[in-house]
Chain A
Amino acid sequence: MTAEATKETREKEPVEREAFLNVFLRNLWSSNSVTITVLSIVLAVIIGAVLIVVSDSTVLEKFTYFTARPADALDASWTLISSAYSDLLKGALGDPEAFNAWFSGTGTWQDAFAPLSETLTYAAPLVFTGLSVSLAFRGGLFNIGAQGQAVLGCIAAGVAGFTFGLPIVLNLLVALIAGALGGALWGFLPGLLKARTGAHEVITTIMLNYTAGLFLAWLVIQKGIQQPGRTDAISKVVADSAQLPSFGGVLRVNLGIVLAVLVTAGVAWLLNRSAFGFELRAVGANPHAAKTAGISVAKTYTLLMAVAGGLAGLGGATQVLGTAYALTPSVAGNIGFDGLLVALLGRNRPWGTLLAALLFGVLRAGGNRMQSFTGISLELVNVLQALIVIFIAAPALVKAIFQLRAARTTAKG
Chain B
Amino acid sequence: MLWIVHQAFPTSGEIPLKLELRGITKRFGDLVANDHIDITVEPGEVHALLGENGAGKSTLMNQLYGLLQPDEGQIVVNDEPQVFRSPRDAIASGIGMVHQHFMLVPVFTVAENIALGAEETRGGPLGWLDRRRARRDVIETSKKFGLPVDPDALIEDLPVGAQQRVEIVKALTRDVDLLILDEPTAVLTPQETDELLAVMRSLTEMGKSIVFITHKLKEVKKIADRITVVRRGKIVGTASPDTSEDELAALMVGRAVSLEVAKGPADPGRAVLQVSGLVVDDDRGIRAVDGVDLEVRAGEVLGIAGVQGNGQTELVEAVMGLREVRAGTVELDGEGLAGMSTKKILRSGVGYVPEDRSHDGVVKEFSVAENLVLDMYDREPFGNAFRLDVAKVAGNAKERVEQFDIRTQSAASAVGTLSGGNQQKVVIAREMSRPLRLFIASQPTRGVDVGSIEFIHGQIIHERDQGTAVLVVSSELDEVVGLADRIAVMYRGRILAVVSPDTPREEIGLLMAGITGGNEEKK
Interface residues in chain A, defined as those with a beta carbon under 8 Å from any beta carbon in chain B: 4, 272-279, 281-282, 285-286, 288-296, 408-413
Contacts and interface: CB of A to CB of B under 8 A. Distances in A.
B57 A413 contact: yes
A229 B101 CA distance: 71
Contact of A413 (B56, B359, B378): B56
Contacts of B378: 275, 278-279
Contact of B343 (A275, A296, A413): A296
Most B CB contacts (10 A, CB to CB) among A282, A292, A296, A409 go to A292
A291 B384 contact: no
Nearest to B233: A413
Given A288-B359, A411-B31, A413-B59, A294 B387 contact: no
Contacts of A294: 341-347, 375
B154 interface: no
Interface residues of B, number: 47
B177 interface: no
Given A4-B412, A411-B28, A413-B58, A286 B364 contact: yes
Contact of A293 (B375, B385, B390): B375
A273 B33 contact: no
8 contacts: A278-B383, A282-B363, A282-B366, A289-B361, A289-B374, A291-B342, A411-B59, A413-B57
A108 to B, nearest CB: 47
B9 interface: no
B388 A285 contact: no
Contact of A274 (B346, B359, B386): B386
Contact of A275 (B370, B377, B412, B417): B377
Interface in B59-85: 59-60
A291 B363 contact: no
Given A411-B31, A412-B59, A413-B56, A295 B343 contact: yes
B363 A274 contact: no
Nearest to A411: B28
Contact of A409 (B28, B320, B341, B347): B28
B473 to A, nearest CB: 15
A290 B370 CA distance: 12
B365 interface: yes
B343 A273 contact: no
A219 to B, nearest CB: 36
A278 B374 CA distance: 9
Contacts of B366: 281-282, 285
B311 interface: no
B387 A273 contact: yes
A285 B363 contact: yes
Interface string B4-30: 000000000000000000000000110
B55 interface: yes
Contacts of B370: 278, 282
The 6 A-B pairs at the shortest CB distance, nearest first, are namely A294-B343, A413-B59, A293-B375, A411-B28, A275-B378, A293-B374
Given A291-B360, A293-B342, A412-B59, 13 more contacts: A4-B410, A273-B387, A274-B387, A275-B377, A282-B374, A286-B362, A286-B363, A288-B359, A289-B363, A294-B341, A294-B342, A410-B29, A413-B57
B354 interface: yes
Contacts of A290: 363, 374
B291 interface: no
A275 B342 contact: no
B58 A274 contact: no
Given A286-B364, A289-B359, A292-B360, A278 B343 contact: no
B427 to A, nearest CB: 9
A289 B360 CA distance: 4
A413 B322 contact: no
Contacts of A279: 377-378
A296 B57 CA distance: 39
B352 interface: yes
B339 interface: no
B341 A296 contact: yes
A176 B401 CA distance: 47
A292 B361 contact: yes
Interface string B205-233: 00000000000000000000000000001
A229 B386 CA distance: 50
B54 A413 contact: yes
Contacts of B377: 275, 278-279
A274 B393 CA distance: 12
A411 B409 CA distance: 13
Contacts of A291: 322, 342, 360
B62 to A, nearest CB: 8
A273 B359 contact: no
Given A275-B377, A282-B366, A412 B58 contact: yes
A276 B58 CA distance: 39
Contacts of A289: 359-363, 374
Given A273-B390, A277-B388, A411-B33, A292 B322 contact: yes
Contacts of B352: 292
B480 to A, nearest CB: 22
Contacts of A408: 29
Contacts of A282: 363, 366, 370, 374
Contacts of B31: 410-411
Nearest to A270: B386
A275 B384 CA distance: 7
A299 to B, nearest CB: 10
Contacts of A4: 410, 412
A274 B375 contact: no
Contacts of B410: 4
B388 A273 contact: yes
Contacts of A274: 386-388
Most A CB contacts (10 A, CB to CB) among B57, B233, B363, B412 go to B363
Contacts of B54: 412-413
A285 B383 contact: no
Most B CB contacts (10 A, CB to CB) among A272, A288, A294, A295 go to A294
A22 B119 CA distance: 49
Nearest to B321: A294
A393 to B, nearest CB: 20
A372 B60 CA distance: 63
A198 B56 CA distance: 42
B385 A275 contact: yes
A294 B341 CA distance: 7
Nearest to A273: B388
Contacts of A285: 363-366
Nearest to B370: A278
Given A4-B412, A273-B388, A293-B374, A410 B417 contact: yes
Contacts of A277: 388
Most B CB contacts (10 A, CB to CB) among A281, A286, A295, A409 go to A286
Given A274-B387, A413-B59, A413-B60, A288 B28 contact: no
Contacts of B364: 285-286
Contacts of B388: 272-275, 277-278
B11 to A, nearest CB: 34
Contacts of B341: 294, 296
Interface in B356-409: 359-366, 370, 374-375, 377-378, 383-388, 390
A412 B26 CA distance: 11
Nearest to B417: A410
Contacts of B360: 288-289, 291-292
Most A CB contacts (10 A, CB to CB) among B60, B344, B365 go to B365
Contacts of A295: 343, 375
A4 B388 CA distance: 23
A296 B417 CA distance: 27
B184 to A, nearest CB: 17
Contacts of B362: 286, 289
Most B CB contacts (10 A, CB to CB) among A293, A295, A296 go to A293
A297 to B, nearest CB: 11
A275 B370 CA distance: 12
A246 B430 CA distance: 53
Contacts of B375: 293-295
